[in-house]
Amino acid sequence: MMGVMRTIHRTPLLLLSLAALALSGCNAGSSSKPTAESAKPFLEEAEKKMYDLYLESAQASWIQSTYITDDSEALSAKANQRAIDYGVSLAKEAAKYNDVQLPPEERRKMDLLKRGLTLAAPADPKESQEVTKLAASLEATYGKGKYCKTPDKCLNIDQITDIMKKSRNADELLDVWKGWHTVSPPMKKDFQRFVELSNKGAKELGFADTGAMWRSKYDMTPDEFTKELDRLWGQVEPLYKSLHAYVRRKLVEKYGPKVVPPTGPIPAHLLGNIWAQDWSNVYDMVAPTGADPGYDLTKILVAKKTDAKQMVKYGEGFFTSLGFDPLPDSFWKRSLFVRPKDRDVVCHASAWDVDNDNDLRIKMCIQINEEDFTTIHHELGHNFYQRAYNKLPLIFRDSANDGFHEAIGDTIALSITPEYLVKLGFIQKAPDASKDIGLLMQRALEKVAFLPFGLMIDQWRWKVFSGEVKPEDYNKAWWELRQKYQGVSAPEDRPDAMFFDPGAKYHVPANVPYTRYFLAHILQFQFHRALSEAAGCPGTGATPLHRCSIYGSKEAGTKLNKMLSMGQSKPWQDALFEITGKKEMDATAIRDYFAPLQAWLDEQNKGQQIGW
């Protein structure tokens, strides 16, 4: 199964949201009073410069990722810096139009420019330079992080991840878990200052704090969005707690009640992942009896002598079966599919839209296995989304909200079912329903287990940005929220005077908003249910939702393309309506998808405490 957050995509407004990159300096800082007449030329010039800056940045970043040298890194950094230098000034210029009456399209463009920032640097040049340096330093500190047992014996994050995945020795797991969390205490002072400066910049844009600025991006007020998240979590919490109770019991059987409290939270180091955000790696300890589906997709791919390009061709074939046009020739010429033998590259899987038009690419070092087969389908979901909206005005060329892009890739991955493999000729027939609990358990350990973690990261940051959580309570609040939402506890006392555990998760020092991933996990199941209904799968009794693949359904493809082609030209609620017929996110689709597993868990959990 594919782990969460293994992929990224690059579009201009994603760059805008992550690092304020795709921006324009048109009229930045001008003293003339904004008017309805000046708005159109301002936006036209902004989009022109955004395109130029984005193209320069994307091309430099592609080279930096696929030809890693000191020179390529320097050129990429300079290209990004040129865009960053324009970022906040453009957002502030757009904010000057807040009270100007504008046509709907111009108003939406202004709002997107203003709300696109993740980091609003203060107007003071020295403070702006300071917060930019702090952002770079925090990310670099994380990137250099290692656990050194001795000066000559250090483990990097990949090695620690591998131990967390494979080891079943509680003492070894505790050792490497604690070891990784030594990378973050040096960040705390810089992070505290970063919060102060980023809040100052957000207030200059008219927001209460940086957290409020982030929550303003969702076509509703920050308070409304917070309530919406609470509602969605309430819909899925019972399923999560059932899974938690079952996994906890199995871990008690493995490690004993002295290590795992039978009725309490699960110690964070025992769930197969550094952050306990994805429990897929403990499947061998919790798998239902007789859950083997009877086939091994990795072995099938190897036996068919599948190469990297053919792996991608399978993914493209999924989309063409829905009625989408094939990928352009340039995709096949310019993408990176295999690790080169003559140079260093960044192998982290990613989807690219280099010229914001039709120069689509993926970058990954493909292995012939089930995980990468799934990842390819996910990545191409980004590419086909990027192409679907490439005729819109530039500012609208992004997903309806930041959860949609990831959700589309994962929606396609949900259609990699046994039935899909039958249609590809990989297996002769799908396994019978008795094998479904194992398949659903594997997916729940990835998808359902992630939900509270996806929610709590920004719950913590928003409290920090608002001042509700003070620096002296950073770690205390972190573990209180992890226990509240995840039912996961620190494996030892972690006092604030010694630790800064939030910094051990990349997205915190890198200042990357995290709620998008929670939303993506909600939306992908809602999308899958709607598209499956269009494909004629569920509701007939023959194919349950978790077995449905939309492969080959032109009806599902038409519905999907209609939504994708809207980009972010309309509020996300309108885009959601095009695919689901509803304007409200609905997590009941997750409950529908995992209904057989929920029933099985209810049986397994009889007489057991649910919750912690």
Residue with tokens 């599902």: 556
**212 contacts 202 by C-beta, under 8 angstroms:** yes
3 state DSSP class of 350: strand
pLDDT digits (tens, 9 = 90+) for 252-287: 999 999 999 999 999 999 999 999 999 999 999 999
pLDDT digits (tens, 9 = 90+) for 470-514: 999 999 999 999 999 999 999 999 999 999 999 999 999 989 899
**373 contacts 297 by C-beta, under 8 angstroms:** yes
C-alpha angle 585-588-591 in degrees, rounded to nearest 5: 145
Structure tokens at 206: 């008219």
> Is pLDDT larger for residue 154 or for residue 13?
154
Could you give the maximum distance between any two Cα atoms of the chain, in Å? Answer: 73
DSSP string, 502-527: GGGSTTTTTT---HHHHHHHHHHHHH
Give the whole-angstrom CA distance, residue 610 versus residue 242.
6
Q: What residue ranges do the domains of the chain occupy?
A: 8-111, 137-190+223-292+448-513, 297-430+516-604
Burial (Cβ within 10 Å: 0-12, 13-18, ≥19) of residue 311? buried
Give the whole-angstrom CA distance, residue 358 versus residue 396.
16
pLDDT digits (tens, 9 = 90+) for 511-559: 989 999 999 999 999 999 999 999 998 654 567 899 999 999 999 999 9
pLDDT of res. 545: 92
**Residue whose C-alpha is closest to residue 387's, from 455, 333, 349, 331:** 331
Sign of CA dihedral 329, 335, 338, 340: positive
Name the DSSP letter for residue 336.
Answer: B
pLDDT of res. 540: 47
Name the DSSP letter for residue 433.
Answer: G
Name the DSSP letter for residue 118.
Answer: S
pLDDT over 60 at 15, yes or no: no
pLDDT over 60 at 439, yes or no: yes
pLDDT digits (tens, 9 = 90+) for 286-315: 999 888 888 899 999 999 999 999 999 999
Name the DSSP letter for residue 441.
Answer: H
> Is pLDDT larger for residue 18 or for residue 422?
422
Give the whole-angstrom CA distance, residue 396 versus residue 399.
8
Query: pLDDT category, 160, cuts 50, 70, 90?
Result: very high
Mean pLDDT of the chain: 90
Structure tokens at 126: 């020295």
**Residue whose C-alpha is closest to residue 516's, from 384, 394, 436, 409:** 409
Query: What percentage of the chain carries pLDDT values higher than 90?
Result: 72
The lowest-confidence range among 93-97, 485-489, 591-595 is: 93-97
Give the whole-angstrom CA distance, residue 281 versus residue 262.
21
DSSP string, 94-106: HHTTTTS---HHH
pLDDT over 80 at 86, yes or no: no
Q: Which residues of 498-507 are buried (b: 16+ CB within 10 A; e: fewer)?
A: ebbbbbbbeb
pLDDT of res. 348: 77
pLDDT of res. 84: 63
3 state DSSP class of 126: helix
pLDDT digits (tens, 9 = 90+) for 401-416: 999 998 998 999 999 9
Amino acid identity at 405:
H
Query: pLDDT category, 596, cuts 50, 70, 90?
Result: very high
**409 contacts 382 by C-beta, under 8 angstroms:** yes
Phi, then psi, of 267 in degrees rounded to 5: -60, 135
3 state DSSP class of 352: strand
Structure tokens at 280: 């897929």
pLDDT of res. 173: 98
pLDDT of res. 11: 46
Other CB atoms within a 10 A radius of the CB of residue 358 amount to 14
Structure tokens at 253: 């059987």
> Is pLDDT larger for residue 344 or for residue 189?
189
Answering whether pTM is above 0.85, one says: yes
Query: pLDDT category, 317, cuts 50, 70, 90?
Result: very high
pLDDT of res. 270: 98
pLDDT of res. 60: 87
Other CB atoms within a 10 A radius of the CB of residue 610 amount to 15
Other CB atoms within a 10 A radius of the CB of residue 242 amount to 24
Cβ partners under 8 Å of residue 355, min gap 6: 55, 58
pLDDT over 60 at 349, yes or no: yes
pLDDT of res. 177: 98
pLDDT of res. 19: 32
Q: What is the distance of C-alpha 545 from the center of its chain?
A: 23
**207 contacts 98 by C-beta, under 8 angstroms:** no
pLDDT over 90 at 125, yes or no: no
Amino acid identity at 311:
M
Partnered with residue 352 across adjacent β-strands are: 10, 361
pLDDT (mean) for 213-232 = 94
pLDDT of res. 182: 96
pLDDT over 80 at 94, yes or no: yes
**557 contacts 487 by C-beta, under 8 angstroms:** no
Give the whole-angstrom CA distance, residue 211 versus residue 558.
37
Cβ partners under 8 Å of residue 3, min gap 6: 278, 280, 371, 446
pLDDT of res. 343: 84
Give the whole-angstrom CA distance, residue 480 versus residue 500.
14
pLDDT of res. 157: 87
Residues carrying an active site annotation: 348-349, 378-379, 382, 406, 507, 517
Please report how the helices 554-564 and 572-580 are oriented relative to each other, as an axis angle in degrees rounded to 10: 170
pLDDT over 50 at 12, yes or no: no
pLDDT of res. 52: 87
Cβ partners under 8 Å of residue 231, min gap 6: none
pLDDT (mean) for 316-344 = 94
Query: pLDDT category, 85, cuts 50, 70, 90?
Result: low
